[in-house]
Structure 1
Amino acid sequence: MNIREAVTGFPAVAELEGLEDAWRWSPAPGIDFAGTLSADGNRLIQTSSRDSYEQDLAVAILRFAQEREEEIFARNPNLGSVAGFTAPNGAPFDAVAGVAPAVHRFYAVELPELTPLVRVVFPAYVCEFSGGETLAESITRYQMLQAVRWKRGPVPFLKMRFANTRTLGRSTNEGRGLAEPVILERELSQMADAPGSFVEFENRHGQVWRVEWHGTWYIAEWDTQDGAPWETTLDALLAFASARLNE
């Protein structure tokens, strides 16, 4: 398939200034795509944004991804990322991430022969990825991050499981499952006065901690399951958890 012909055939497509072999098009109001050929010309590296497109940022993302495409996907072919990105105009992103066709499924209906040739890239944060996500986790993670929003803060990688004897809330997944940090904060806060309750949480480095309620909060390193628990307060616990997720 000729990628250049396919892309330049999209409605209202225009050349993207600032990058060779690159284009911008908008399939619907507020939705903006930009893309460029990979260094070898065999793939389309594409961005997607909703109500937040910035041309300087699009060019920076695509250039970074084009130069470091192999590195982005070296560790995880479904969902990868590389640090060292400096976004223009003071945007806080510090990484570029990319997803494979099995994750993004772009053009699967209208132009399915193009789908396997497309890698979607987006501005991101180093703390958002472990590098070990399965295909199913990669799909979930891509959806959680709302990658089309180019004016967003970080959503640190988190896996957790929990059970609360007072609220009767509990995780339903086997083992620790992907979650947003706000869920961790909520469950840690609701452990008060709930004997037998616990929360386990894991950061992107695979480090795990377990929190239990025994008249107050106790936390222990859990990835080796031999860490000695220590007593803590809720404020200190929330600060500790946030720091570990953002490492």
Structure 2
Amino acid sequence: MTGLIRLELIRALRNKKFLFFSVLYPSALFLMIAGTQDAHTEVDGTGLTLPTLFMVSMASFGALTAVLMGNSERIAKERENGWVRQLRLTPLPGRGYVVAKTASAAVVSLPAIVVVFIVAAATKGVRLEAWQWLALTGAIWAGSLVFAALGVAVGYLATGDAVRPITMILYFGLSVLGGLWMPTTTFPGWLQKISSWLPTYAYAGLGQSIELGDAPHAKDLAILVVSFLLFAGGAAWLYRKDTRKA
């Protein structure tokens, strides 16, 4: 399984387009949104300044890009070209394939997180305690596993032609409604209630709590845990279903 993880990492690092969107694109968005904004005015209802709020949002968005976009499309294509079927002829168990995909995607998401932090600190003067930087990195990285599992599930659910539109709908829908692109405090009340139950909202909430010096909210943690179990369970079921078809 470690060999497969190593292979997946090499393939991802050679994909320049993928690296641009997962690593540089979130930092560029951060500069577009927060670059010209006042670094001291707080965003209503958050207790955070706009640069600190969007630093977490864009770091989370970058990790989401790396694990969701990368996994879903790659798996769908591998199913079509027979690569997954070839792997089944090896001693690698089915769960090993799913774990390898999730783990390799999560490793690739780490640079996206770190680059956004560096850009925010260098351009907007975001300053946090050392423990907060470490906790933010760990929380956002660990939370990305939820969406890595979703990417695996989508990759087994959709065909090669359908996977991109399905992934894009999930990608932008979860990002916008979860508050990664704009504060949910700007939404109508009814939409705020819906957003508060999305995994992306809980994902960003982890980082925001750390920035405020607080412990993560129990509701956010519960949403992420339940989402991971649902997505991972769905991926495992779809893998077994796909195996029976082969």
Q: Calculate the TM-score normalised by the size of structure 2.
A: 0.24
Task: Kindly indicate which of the two structures has a greater share of residues assigned to helix.
Answer: 2
Task: Give the number of the structure whose residues are more often strand, by fraction.
Answer: 1
Higher relative contact order (CA 8 A, sep 6+): 2
